[in-house]
């Protein structure tokens, strides 16, 4: 049996961009997977294909789960990769969303399957989302780093160039497979405070979603995620204040962040730029929102 299983072919996608996020090592604070799921839910994305997990997962490391269906029937849910299509008529392109656990094995075969699907439906750009733990304070704007196959893209989006060297995840492997296939690709990474590593981080998810909007030209109503991010920062601040040692540590991180910010000229968008972005969002939502 072929690993790639089609539910149906999503015909008629316009200049689609593929956006991928994987749970596990690449997903500190669940930020990348939460950003992708929020975008998919906001745009009404529908599943059209899966990758069979048998060839790619060690089920002792990434275990299937059991859930009750109709009250008593026990259903096994396998850790598969799923592909969704989101049609955005008033945006310049549609989206293909890819989500699933980071595979355990056969990464090159796995990435080739994803690339083959991308080529089959005419994907014009692939973007991977990720999040890593870092020495950053939760009170400051989330730092987004990025790499892309096109250096001009990094400059246009005001991304910081990644300097990390060391063990990597499936996102980098997929990025390399896209380059080999000639598909333009980019990778966006959010920095998550390591002292709240176990907590879901909607603030980082929001930052990834906003940076992705500028990259693919598709806007979503993120008010729900904004509220979650505000509540997250408030709750973490209360927890930090209850521990003098952690509070002192966070204050040191804030001081370092301020020193680094002082060395960089802030690029504040003008009122005209903000107005254009808002108008684009309204056009995508349709006449009922105006």
Query: What domains sit in the chain, N to C, each tagged with a CATH number?
Result: 4-289 (3.40.50.10900)
d(CA 284, CA 276): 13
Q: What is the pLDDT of residue 160?
A: 62
* pLDDT in the model for residue 56: 95
pLDDT at 243: 84
Average pLDDT, the chain: 86
For residues 121 and 189, is the Cβ–Cβ distance under 8 A? no
Beta bridge partners of 73: 69
Per-residue pLDDT at 263: 59
Q: Are 207 and 190 in contact (CB under 8 A)?
A: yes
Query: 67 versus 52: which is more confidently predicted?
Result: 52
Dist. CA 162–CA 155, nearest whole Å: 13
Instruction: For residue 218, name the pLDDT band (cuts at 50, 70, 90).
Output: very high
Query: What mean pLDDT comes out for the span 117-125?
Result: 95
Residue 163: predicted pLDDT: 66
Contact 211, 144 (CB under 8 A): yes
Work out the percent of the chain whose per-residue pLDDT is above 90: 57
| Best CA proximity match to 181, nearest among 232, 254, 115 | 115
Phi, psi of 160, deg, nearest 5: -85, 140
The whole-angstrom separation of Cα 255 and Cα 158 is: 23
Contacts (Cβ under 8 Å, ≥6 apart) of 35: 21, 129, 205, 206, 208, 209, 212
pLDDT of amino acid 268? 42
Q: What angle do CA 203, 206, 209 make, to 5 degrees?
A: 155
**Model confidence at 244, in pLDDT bands (50, 70, 90)?**
confident
pLDDT at 117: 97
pLDDT of residue 75: 84
Of the two residues 114 and 254, the one the predictor is more confident about is 114
Q: What is the pLDDT of residue 273?
A: 43
Give me the pLDDT at residue 106, please.
Answer: 96
Instruction: Name which residue leads in pLDDT, 147 or 190.
Output: 190
State the greatest distance between any 2 C-alpha atoms of the chain, in Å, as a whole number. 61
Q: Are strands 185-193 and 125-134 parallel, antiparallel or unpaired?
A: parallel
Confidence check: pLDDT of 269 > 80: no
Pick 136 or 71 by higher pLDDT. Answer: 136
pLDDT-derived band at 192 (thresholds 50, 70, 90) equals: very high
pLDDT for the residue 286? 56
């Amino acid at each position: 049996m072929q690993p790639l299983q089609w539910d149906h072919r999503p015909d008629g996608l316009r200049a689609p961009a593929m956006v991928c996020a994987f749970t596990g090592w690449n997903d500190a604070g669940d930020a990348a997977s939460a950003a992708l799921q929020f975008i998919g839910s906001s745009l009404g994305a529908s599943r059209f294909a899966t990758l069979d997990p048998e060839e790619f997962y060690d089920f002792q490391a990434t275990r299937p789960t059991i859930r009750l269906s109709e009250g008593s029937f026990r259903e096994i849910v396998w850790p598969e990769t799923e592909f969704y299509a989101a049609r955005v008529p008033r945006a310049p392109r549609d989206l293909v969303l890819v989500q699933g656990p980071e595979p355990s094995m056969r990464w090159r075969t796995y990435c080739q399957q994803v690339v083959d699907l991308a080529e089959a439906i005419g994907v014009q750009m692939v973007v991977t989302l990720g999040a890593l733990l870092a020495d950053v304070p939760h009170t400051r704007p989330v730092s987004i780093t990025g790499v892309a196959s096109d250096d001009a893209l990094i400059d246009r989006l005001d991304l910081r160039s990644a300097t990390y060297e060391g063990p990597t995840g499936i996102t980098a492997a997929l990025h390399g497979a896209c380059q080999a296939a000639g598909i333009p690709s980019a990778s966006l990474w959010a920095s998550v405070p390591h002292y709240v590593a176990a907590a879901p981080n909607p603030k980082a998810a929001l930052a990834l979603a906003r940076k992705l909007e500028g990259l693919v030209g598709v806007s979503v109503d993120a008010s729900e995620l904004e509220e979650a991010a505000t509540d997250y920062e408030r709750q973490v601040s209360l927890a930090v204040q209850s521990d003098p040692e952690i509070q002192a540590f966070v204050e040191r991180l804030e001081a370092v962040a301020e020193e680094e910010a002082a060395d960089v000229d802030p690029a504040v968008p003008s009122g005209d730029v903000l107005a254009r972005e808002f108008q684009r969002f309204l056009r995508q939502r349709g006449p009922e929102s105006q």
